[in-house]
Structure 1
């Protein structure tokens, strides 16, 4: 896959483009038993739960890759105004959505 530029800005310096449409990248990650045990123990003493942090990093990366694929499938050259949204589906599941506007360079 050709690398699709993804930016959080409204424009791309030096580029004129036309808007193609909205694009999304979605993923849902579940916590496994080992992570839950580690999180429960860490909850007692406090501090960062590194397994959960790693899970969220992986979810973010998957969401961006799916966003890029969605943009490529639409014939886009880039995605502008990319944003993230995340939330818990249940106590054991976290969803991440990356979304933005697919554009084609003129």
Structure 2
């Protein structure tokens, strides 16, 4: 189970905010659109992982240290997205996306963004 959490991620079900990549949520209606929200983080590269990645790239294969770092980074960006949504009174993020870019050759910038909204079950 540990490897599942190390190399994958997603939303914490206890977070109180539903995050979806779709425009709507089946069985729910959008009561109010709050607007764009995002969670941003920039992570520098660890010198040990850079050396390990350099050696691994000579032999081929997955760079597990870098994969774990990127998963942690995406999860942190997602947590910040959820915090922003809650702070604005939302209980859902629609059309969530990630944007990943290099940040001035010193790290990786990860931004989770979407549309904050208030949704409620139909019926």
2:66 aligns with one of 52, 70, 73: 52
Partner SS for 1:47:
coil
- Map of 1:22 onto structure 2: 36
Match of 1:40 in 2: 54
Given the superposition, is the C-alpha separation of residues 38 and 72 from structure 1 closer, same or farther in structure 2, using an over 3 Å criterion?
A: same
Correspondence for 1:83:
97
| Distance in structure 2 (CA, Å) of the matches to 1:2 and 1:37 | 36
- What corresponds to 2:109 in structure 1? 95
Structure 1 segments, 4+ long, off by >4 Å, are none
With structure 1 as the length reference, what TM-score do the two structures score?
0.93
In 2, Cα distance between the equivalents of 1:90 and 1:32? Answer: 15
Verify the 8 A CA contact 2:33 2:117 in the aligned structure 1.
yes
Gapped runs of 5+ residues in structure 2?
1-13
Q: How many residues align?
A: 106
Range with bigger deviation, 88-97 or 43-52: 88-97
- Structure 1: tracts of 5 or more residues without a match: none
Tell me how far 1:89 sits from its aligned partner: 1.2
TM-score (norm 2): 0.81
